[in-house]
Chains A and B, each alone.
Chain A
C-alpha cells in the first residue's frame, strides 16, 4: 500500500513570498490533516478535512494560510505571504475515518525555510 505522498520535500523562500505544498493521502482515506512542526516541538494541527469539507481549522492563521482539498483526495496548503516564523516542517497525514481512535498515517513532510 502506497503511503502519504508530499511534495516538495524542501523549500527555501524569502519572507513575503508565497509557497504551496501538495499532499496525496492514502487511497480511500476520508480524513486529511495538515500539521505544522516547529523544530523541537510536537506537531500542531492546522486544518482537518473530512472528504472535501473542513472539520477543524481553529489553529490555521487564516490571514496568510489557506488550504483546499479538491474532490476529497489531494490537498494543497498555501502560505501567502510567508513570515520568518513560518519556518517549520509541514506534515500531511490521513486516516480512514474521522473520530474514534483512528491511526493517522503521516507523510515525510516538507521542510520550509523562510529567509
Chain B
C-alpha cells in the first residue's frame, strides 16, 4: 500500500516556482521522506530526501512540516525539462528502508 497522498496532476508555467504537496500522515519518526521523478520513457531519478529539517540541493528544496505529516517539493524555476511524474515516498525504517511508491504527481510545464 502506498503510504503517501499526492495530487494526480499539476500544471505550471515555465520559469515560475512549483510547489508539489505530499501527505504522509502515518510516517514514523525515523522514516526519511524521499522524492524521485520520472521523465517520459526513463527510469526514475533521485531528487531529494529529508528527515526533519528543510533541505536544499541543486535540483530542488524540500519543506517538511513540523509534525512531519506533510512535505512540499519546491522547484524554484520550472523548465520544460522538469515535466515528469514526481513521486513522494517514504523509506520504511522497519523494513530495511524499503521504498514504497505511490502513483505520483504528473507535472506539466507550459512554455
Number of contact residues on B: which range applies?
20 to 34
What DSSP secondary structure best describes chain A's contact surface?
loop
Interface residues contributed by chain A, number (CB under 8 Å): 24
What is the distance, in angstroms, from B98's C-beta to the closest C-beta of chain A? 6
> Is B101 a contact of A109 with CB atoms below 8 Å?
no
Query: Which residues in B have their C-beta under 8 angstroms from that of A48?
Result: 96, 98
Question: B2 — nearest CB in chain A belongs to which residue?
Answer: A42
What is the distance, in angstroms, from A10's C-beta to the closest C-beta of chain B? 11
Q: Pick the interface stretch among A14-22, A80-88, A91-99.
A: A91-99
Find B91's partner among A40, A56, A101, A108 (CB 8 Å cutoff).
A101
Find A104's partner among B2, B32, B46, B103 (CB 8 Å cutoff).
B46
What is the distance, in angstroms, from A56's C-beta to the closest C-beta of chain B? 6
Task: Give Cα A45–Cα B104 distance, bound, in whole angstroms.
Answer: 16
Task: Give Cα A56–Cα B32 distance, bound, in whole angstroms.
Answer: 19
B21 within 8 A of partner (CB):
no
Which 3 A-B residue pairings sit nearest by Cβ, starting from the closest? A42-B101, A106-B43, A101-B32
List residues of chain A with CB under 8 Å of any chain B CB.
4, 40-45, 48, 55-56, 91, 93, 98-109
List residues of chain B with CB under 8 Å of any chain A CB.
2, 32, 34, 36, 42-46, 49, 51, 87, 91, 95-104
